[in-house]
């Protein structure tokens, strides 16, 4: 476009602003994809906060684009009154601005939904971790109980007729067996509960 007067400068600035917004929206979309992949395996809030920041940026972008749309509408009214002859160019700019505004609104809505969904994923990851830790605790609970009740001195007294390598070998094997049986029982209980949930 040729620049003959200050009005043309305003149009060029608005056009470049629209293109700038569209480029930034592309970058935001790429960033959101990277953050989503990291959230899928994360158990912290760090990436959710980054997604929240992107969502907040989109709100500011939408506000700025709507302000530019207001300026374009005023310019269009002025051009129609003055018969400058740039109605088609202004119409094209208005269409681009509307598309950028719609794209920003869609991204903002998608981000809001994704943040809720990703928050649920993070909670689910945390629940799975706590579940594993609980299983480990339950497996070691009877072992601690047996070791606490028997104690090393009582066990040595009960097995004084055997050599200590045999006695402590039997003790270790029995502890491993109890831990394994506890683990199998927990898996069976978990399998039954998951089948009931499906029904």
Q: CATH number of the domain that 76 lies in?
A: 1.20.58.340
Compute the half-sphere exposure of residue 186: CA atoms within 13 Å on the CB side of its CA.
17
- In a domain, residue 20? The reply is yes
Q: Encode pLDDT of 153-162 as tens digits.
A: 666 666 777 7
- In a domain, residue 173? The reply is yes
Residue 177: both structure tokens together: 């067996």
- In a domain, residue 47? The reply is yes
How many domains does the chain divide into? 2
| 109 and 30 together in one domain | yes
| 98 and 144 together in one domain | no
Distance CA 157, CA 164 (A): 11
Q: Encode pLDDT of 7-58 as tens digits.
A: 677 778 888 888 888 888 888 888 888 877 776 666 566 777 787 788 888 8
| 27 and 95 together in one domain | yes
Q: What is the pTM of this model?
A: 0.54
Evaluate whether 83 touches 1 at the Cβ level (below 8 Å). Answer: no
Confidence class for position 1, pLDDT limits 50, 70, 90: low
What integer is the mean pLDDT of 70-90?
Answer: 75
What integer is the mean pLDDT of 91-104?
Answer: 85
Residue 185: both structure tokens together: 């029982």
Please report the DSSP string for 110-175 in residue order: HHHHHHHHHHHHHHHHHHHHHHHHHHHHHHHHHHHHHHHHHHHHHHHHHTTTS-HHHHHHHHHHHH
| 81 and 167 together in one domain | no
Within 10 Å of residue 59's Cβ, how many Cβ atoms?
13
CA distances from 161 to 22, 54, 155, 165, 167 (A): 85, 72, 11, 12, 9
Distance CA 129, CA 177 (A): 25
For the stretch 30-42, what's the b/e string if a residue is b when 16 or more beta carbons lie within 10 angstroms of its beta carbon? eebeebbeebeeb
Q: Which domain holds residue 82?
A: 6-119
| 97 and 39 together in one domain | yes
Predicted pLDDT at 194: 62
Predicted pLDDT at 192: 66
Predicted pLDDT at 124: 79
| 142 and 172 together in one domain | yes
CA distances from 48 to 29, 72, 176 (A): 15, 36, 42
Tokens 């509307």 label which residue? 98
| 32 and 107 together in one domain | yes
Q: Encode pLDDT of 125-134 as tens digits.
A: 788 888 888 8
């Amino acid at each position: 476009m040729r620049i003959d007067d200050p009005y043309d400068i305003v149009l060029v600035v608005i056009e470049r602003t629209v293109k700038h917004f569209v480029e930034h929206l592309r970058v935001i979309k790429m960033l959101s994809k990277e953050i989503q992949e990291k959230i899928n395996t994360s158990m912290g809030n760090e990436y959710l906060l980054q997604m929240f920041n992107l969502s907040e940026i989109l709100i500011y972008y939408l506000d700025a684009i709507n302000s530019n749309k207001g300026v374009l509408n005023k310019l269009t009214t002025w051009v129609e009154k003055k018969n400058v002859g740039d109605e088609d160019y202004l119409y094209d700019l208005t269409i681009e601005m509307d598309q950028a505004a719609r794209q920003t609104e869609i991204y903002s809505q998608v981000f809001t939904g994704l943040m809720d969904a990703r928050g649920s994923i993070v909670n689910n990851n945390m629940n799975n971790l706590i579940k594993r830790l609980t299983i480990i605790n339950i497996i070691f609970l009877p072992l601690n109980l047996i070791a606490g009740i028997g104690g090393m001195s009582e066990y040595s007294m009960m097995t004084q007729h055997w050599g200590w390598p045999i006695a402590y070998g039997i003790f270790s094997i029995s502890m491993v067996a109890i831990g394994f049986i506890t683990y199998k029982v927990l898996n069976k209980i978990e399998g039954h509960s998951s089948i009931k949930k499906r029904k």
